[in-house]
Chains A and B, each alone.
Chain A
Amino acid sequence: MPPETGPDLESVAEQVFIALADPTRRSILAALAAGGPATATDLADRLPITRQAIAKHLALLADVGLVTAEPGERRRVRFRLRSAPMQAAQQFLAALARDWDGPLEALTGYLDRTAPRGEGR
């Protein structure tokens, strides 16, 4: 509807929600957020999930842009959390969370208590 609405932002947010809908992926993201970049093996040590399952989920998270792969020690690939897509999703949630109805009701109540009535009433 408005010209500045990028189709990108919406699809980014959608992918974030899809990624976050899975409890395993949530725990992987939470582990990276809490502990910083880690290899699939590090994550398998920390989480009750097999390394194979973690690798599969990391691949999906990398596709979505929620993690990036980077070279780590001993030529192992480390995964780092990327927060940019989260920010798109946050913005979507912020729009849903914005409450104008409550304040506007309060405004009407305030005017009714204090302000003079309009001519037409």
Chain B
Amino acid sequence: MGFPDRIERTLEVAHPPSAVWAAITTAEGLAAWFGQEAEIDLRPGGAARLAWEGGHVAELRVERVEEPSVFGFTWRVDSMPEDDPRRTYVEFTLEPTAAGTRLRVVETGFAQLPDDEYRKGFDSHTEGWGRELGELVAYLDAA
């Protein structure tokens, strides 16, 4: 089957790295092409947020900021539960070329986490649920 852990795209853009950098690291730029609304605190560990019509929201954590060549962030895997710890890492690399910029986007981590760990996380969740329901029953019984 081939589990796709890594997604990679390279494009040649006819604009200097400074323009591409602004487009991918400022709220104004991100809101123009990525989300419909964007906020960003551009520093490692800073938070960024993208929002789309219909209420879809992506929360990003900025990981690497090396102007004007590397911008990296992590975000949750779409369709995973909110409390799922798994995040993928997205890195934009900008390289000046004669014609403008070579922009590379790499997203990794779709196949992360050893089986054991995710099983452990899962089991603690189900136990948690069982316990909570048990507590609810005990509470109702007492009332």
Contact = CB atoms under 8 A, between A and B. Distances in A.
Contacts, number: 140
A109 B9 contact: no
A50 interface: no
Interface string B94-132: 000111110101011111111100110011001000000
Interface size class of B (residues with CB under 8 A): 35 or more
Interface residues of A, number: 44
Going nearest first, the 10 A-B pairs with the smallest beta carbon separation are A118-B100, A115-B19, A95-B110, A106-B33, A84-B122, A120-B99, A120-B98, A10-B3, A95-B4, A110-B33
A114 B113 CA distance: 41
A2 B33 contact: no
A22 interface: no
A119 interface: yes
A84 B80 CA distance: 12
Interface string A75-112: 00000001110011011111111101101101111111
Contacts of A73: none
A114 B19 CA distance: 9
Nearest to B111: A5
A104 B9 contact: yes
Interface of A: 1-2, 4-6, 8-10, 12-14, 82-84, 87-88, 90-98, 100-101, 103-104, 106-112, 114-121
Interface string B1-40: 1111111010101111001101110000100111000000
B131 to A, nearest CB: 15
Contact of B14 (A1, A83, A97, A117): A117
B11 A10 contact: no
23 contacts: A2-B6, A6-B111, A9-B3, A10-B2, A82-B122, A83-B122, A83-B126, A88-B118, A91-B110, A91-B111, A95-B3, A96-B4, A98-B7, A98-B107, A100-B105, A104-B11, A106-B33, A112-B15, A115-B16, A117-B100, A118-B13, A118-B101, A119-B98
